[in-house]
């Protein structure tokens, strides 16, 4: 092995670690930030497009009510339990989505806490979250007292 080849390899290694590595890190950061920003804009646009739904407390009949929500990747059946005119519980009854509903498992608790079908859009499961929200809307429409629609 010649001394020049060892020196050349050392020089290449030094250049890679000093000049290329920071560029690779910068590119990775830009790609991650861009993906995050795109996801944020997509969910913000989806929320704005849905419009705000009013919360109607005490306008529901007591009982258990089910509704279906359709998405691009399938459909979800959700159930709401109404006690004393309020949402006491919400759950995913049937999941026929292309992707697992475990990704939106936290959404039923949001329905109960917010007393509304307004739930967060889940990154990577936005279609499932939308289908769940629609299913809750339909269940609450079934639970609405006659003459009043939520």
Q: What is the pTM of this model?
A: 0.62
Residue 75, pLDDT score: 97
Give yes or no: residues 1 and 40 share one domain: yes
In a domain, 42, yes or no: yes
Residue 18, pLDDT score: 73
The pLDDT tens digits of the residues spanning 39-87 come to 655 555 555 555 545 455 568 999 999 999 999 999 999 999 999 999 9
Report strand pairing: 63-71 vs 86-97: unpaired
The pLDDT tens digits of the residues spanning 87-146 come to 999 999 999 999 999 999 999 999 999 999 999 999 999 999 999 999 999 999 999 976
Q: Are 58 and 79 in contact (CB under 8 A)?
A: no
In a domain, 56, yes or no: no
CA-CA distances (angstroms) from residue 67 to 36, 89, 147?
A: 32, 14, 19
Domain interval for residue 33:
1-51
Angle at 85 between CA 84 and CA 88, to 5 degrees: 75
The domain tally of the chain equals 2
């Amino acid at each position: 092995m010649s001394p020049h080849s060892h020196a050349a390899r050392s020089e290449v290694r030094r250049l890679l670690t000093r000049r290329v590595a920071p560029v690779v890190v910068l590119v990775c950061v830009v790609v991650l930030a861009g993906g995050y920003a795109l996801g944020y804009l997509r969910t913000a646009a989806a929320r704005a497009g849905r419009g705000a739904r009013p919360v109607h407390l005490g306008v529901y009949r007591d009982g258990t009510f089910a509704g279906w929500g359709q998405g691009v990747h399938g459909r979800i059946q959700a159930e709401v339990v109404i006690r004393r005119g309020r949402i006491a519980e919400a759950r995913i009854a049937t999941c026929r989505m292309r992707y697992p509903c475990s990704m939106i498992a936290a959404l039923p608790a949001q329905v109960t806490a917010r007393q509304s079908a307004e739930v967060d859009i889940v990154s990577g499961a936005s279609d499932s979250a939308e289908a769940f929200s629609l299913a809750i809307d339909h269940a609450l429409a079934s639970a609405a007292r006659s003459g009043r629609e939520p």
